[in-house]
């Protein structure tokens, strides 16, 4: 038996996983345990949980795989330093970061005293880990593989072909050129300064027109071979140090763009400034430029490798709007984007890269993301008993359901009645999306449901859409495209004649970021949606993450805390149905 501990460390979304004989046993992000979004550093708590869940001590682990290799692309690094002569502070900062990120064995020794790791440590190049995380868990035996990111190991993108257990990497885009950097810099310019705010630009883009696309083409240049480069006049990172704090908390990134960008597009928006139409138009233009570059690359790759399937990873693999257009804008007919396409996914990518390097065979594909911590009925019962007075004081009534069908029917009725339902079941999802085990649910038919959710819980920007979880078999009747989207990583156009029926999950451009739900992957969630369909004729529910300006809840106590401090109407915690009767 071969056991591999996969780690994403010293990037945002630090994470860990265990792969045993080629089977992904578990996976979780550090943020869920630390309760700090995008937590970066060494994921000691995620590692501890993964080992305990797998019944292992650190001493029993055969291999540790980390998605970073400081020696990768070394010649490129030296050549860039000699030829471009960047600011000395940038060079010194990168040397310090390299030293801090080395010594994984020392980090393990501090985190697990008395459990000496006696196995082999593997450093896996960042983009090799991304490519492995996409292909080696996909259902395809052959596929084009693409990683598009910010930066990792001096590269921002890599691509090639996966066949069987092997991935051939044919080309890369190197520092300082990066589509991820382009999108992040323009996200900052638009007044969204936090790490990971790019999804806000995606949500804002449909409210605008791509009137600034020619300006964007001055920033990003496309090459005949499918590659791309940046006009570095608009970016700081190539020659000077950009503040980047990642250790022991949420990453913080300094300003990436130069005054030249403001000369091109006008003054940058401050976070406190109102959103004007010009900002919406720039957001649309940013998304359009990203798609232009992304599809330029994919079409070039299909000419080189005329296969039907493509696997996408990297931080830009989270761009669900672009992902949903792949089968429309390219000849590819099959798409796979796993649930943690960004840096967290590098943990499983590093582990699988090592497994196949050791000669291991392909295992079953990753068709669901329920790989994190779970709980049993006893843990939930003890929690509710311990906090019974607090629950009663909040005006709540508790009902225990012995029959799953009855629980789903009661919950479906609550959703159909316009209630906001916290739904906590089974094992936590791997990746940033709530996929029916750590979800807040609402009625997609209600035009006011977005406002209700923002009033009661979310308090987020009004332009951001909510997503539908839809029965897989119903997709062709409700969406213009058909396909498996189990991880909510693709946006599809909703059929024009259906949009008025589900206004709460229909974005301003008529699209929806769907999750397809099959009984084989999540029987209880499928049963709930089927019960809602039987009541209403609509085979989907509104699904958003179970949180309130924090990481998605992990444990039952966090779900109960979120329920009690917000105006959520119902909490379904395992088999327990807790309803707030007193007015909120």
Determine contact, residues 468/512, Cβ cutoff 8 Å. Answer: yes
Give φ, ψ of 44 to 5 degrees: -65, -40
What element of type H or E holds 423? strand 421-424
For residue 42, the SS3 value is coil
Tell me the two tokens of residue 159.
């691509």
Distance in angstroms (rounded) separating the CA atoms of residues 439 and 433: 9
Is position 11 annotated as part of the catalytic site? yes
Q: CA 355 → CA 22, 65, 128, distances in Å? A: 6, 9, 13
Distance in angstroms (rounded) separating the CA atoms of residues 128 and 351: 11
Please choose, from the candidates 131, 236, 229, the residue with its C-alpha nearest in 3D space to the C-alpha of residue 189: 236
Of 11, 126, 237, 279, which residue is the catalytic one? Answer: 11
Task: Tell me whether residue 393 is exposed, middle or buried, using C-beta atoms within 10 angstroms of its C-beta: 0 to 12, 13 to 18, 19 or more.
Answer: exposed
**Pairing mode of beta strands 309-313, 334-336:** parallel
Q: CA 472 → CA 109, 442, 476, 479, distances in Å? A: 46, 19, 9, 11
Determine contact, residues 373/555, Cβ cutoff 8 Å. Answer: yes
Q: How far is CA 105 from the centre of its chain?
A: 28
Distance in angstroms (rounded) separating the CA atoms of residues 131 and 139: 14
Determine contact, residues 416/443, Cβ cutoff 8 Å. Answer: yes
Q: How far is CA 40 from the centre of its chain?
A: 15
> Sign (positive/negative) of CA torsion 486, 488, 490, 494?
positive
For residue 27, the SS3 value is strand
Give φ, ψ of 322 to 5 degrees: -65, -40
Question: Cα-Cα-Cα-Cα dihedral of 126, 30, 201, 189, to 10°?
Answer: -80
- Spell out the residues 6+ positions from residue 227 whose beta carbon is closer than 8 angstroms to its own: 157, 171, 173, 297
Distance in angstroms (rounded) separating the CA atoms of residues 381 and 379: 6
Q: CA 510 → CA 207, 320, 402, 561, distances in Å? A: 11, 15, 40, 35
Distance in angstroms (rounded) separating the CA atoms of residues 399 and 418: 19
DSSP annotation string for 510-563? SEEEEEEE-TTT-HHHHHHHHHHHHHHS--EEEEEES-SSSSPP-SHHHHHHHH
Tell me the two tokens of residue 300.
């070039």
Distance in angstroms (rounded) separating the CA atoms of residues 405 and 424: 16
Please choose, from the candidates 563, 354, 544, 520, the residue with its C-alpha nearest in 3D space to the C-alpha of residue 439: 544
Catalytic site positions: 11
């Amino acid at each position: 038996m071969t056991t591999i501990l996969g780690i994403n460390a010293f990037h945002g979304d630090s994470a860990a996983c265990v792969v045993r004989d080629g089977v992904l046993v578990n996976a979780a992000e550090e943020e869920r345990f630390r309760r700090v979004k995008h937590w970066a550093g060494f994921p000691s708590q995620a590692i501890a949980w993964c080992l305990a869940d797998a019944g292992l001590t650190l001493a029993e682990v055969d291999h540790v795989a980390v998605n970073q290799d400081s020696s990768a692309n070394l010649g490129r690094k030296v050549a860039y330093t000699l030829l471009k002569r960047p600011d000395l502070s940038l060079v010194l900062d990168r040397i310090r970061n390299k030293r801090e990120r080395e010594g994984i064995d020392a980090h393990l020794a501090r985190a697990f005293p008395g459990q000496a790791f006696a196995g082999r440590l593997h450093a896996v190049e960042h983009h090799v880990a991304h490519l492995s995380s996409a292909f080696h868990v996909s259902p395809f035996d052959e596929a084009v593989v693409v990683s598009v990111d910010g930066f990792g190991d001096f590269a921002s993108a890599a691509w090639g072909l996966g066949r069987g257990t092997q991935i051939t990497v044919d080309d890369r885009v190197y520092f300082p050129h990066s589509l991820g950097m382009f999108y992040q810099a323009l996200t900052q310019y638009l007044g969204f300064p936090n790490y990971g705010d790019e999804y806000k630009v995606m949500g804002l883009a449909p409210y605008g027109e791509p009137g600034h696309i020619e300006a964007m083409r001055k920033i990003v240049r496309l090459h005949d071979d499918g590659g791309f480069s940046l006009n570095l006049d608009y970016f700081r990172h190539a020659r000077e140090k950009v503040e980047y704090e990642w250790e022991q908390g949420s990453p913080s990134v300094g300003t990436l763009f130069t005054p030249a960008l403001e000369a091109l597009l006008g003054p940058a928006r401050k976070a406190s400034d109102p959103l004007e139409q010009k900002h919406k138009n720039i957001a649309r233009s940013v998304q359009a430029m990203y798609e232009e570059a992304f599809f330029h690359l994919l079409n070039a790759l299909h000419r080189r490798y005329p296969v039907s399937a493509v696997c996408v990873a990297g931080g830009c693999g989270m761009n669900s709007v672009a992902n949903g257009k792949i089968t429309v804008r390219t000849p590819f007919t099959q798409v796979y984007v796993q649930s943690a396409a960004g840096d967290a996914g590098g943990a499983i990518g590093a582990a699988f890269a090592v497994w196949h390097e050791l000669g291991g065979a392909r295992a079953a594909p990753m068709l669901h993301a329920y790989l994190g911590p779970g709980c049993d009925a006893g843990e939930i019962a003890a929690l509710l008993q311990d906090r019974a007075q607090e629950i009663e004081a909040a005006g709540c009534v508790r009902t225990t359901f012995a029959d799953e069908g009855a629980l789903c029917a009661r919950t479906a009725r609550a959703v159909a009645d316009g209630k906001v339902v916290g739904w906590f079941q089974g094992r936590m999802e791997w990746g940033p999306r709530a996929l029916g085990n750590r979800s807040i649910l609402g009625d997609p038919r209600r035009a006011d449901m977005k406002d209700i959710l923002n009033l009661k819980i979310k308090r987020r920007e009004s332009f951001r859409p909510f997503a539908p979880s839809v029965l897989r078999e119903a997709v062709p009747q409700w969406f213009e495209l058909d396909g498996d989207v189990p991880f909510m990583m693709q946006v599809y156009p909703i059929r024009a004649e259906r949009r008025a029926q589900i206004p709460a999950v229909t974005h301003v451009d008529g699209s929806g970021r769907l999750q397809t739900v099959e009984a084989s992957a999540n029987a209880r969630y499928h049963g709930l949606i089927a019960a809602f369909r039987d009541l209403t004729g609509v085979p989907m529910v509104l699904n958003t993450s179970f949180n309130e300006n924090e990481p998605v809840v992990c444990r039952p106590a966090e779900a109960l805390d979120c329920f009690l401090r917000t105006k959520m109407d119902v909490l379904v915690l395992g088999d327990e149905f807790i309803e707030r009767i007193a007015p909120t």
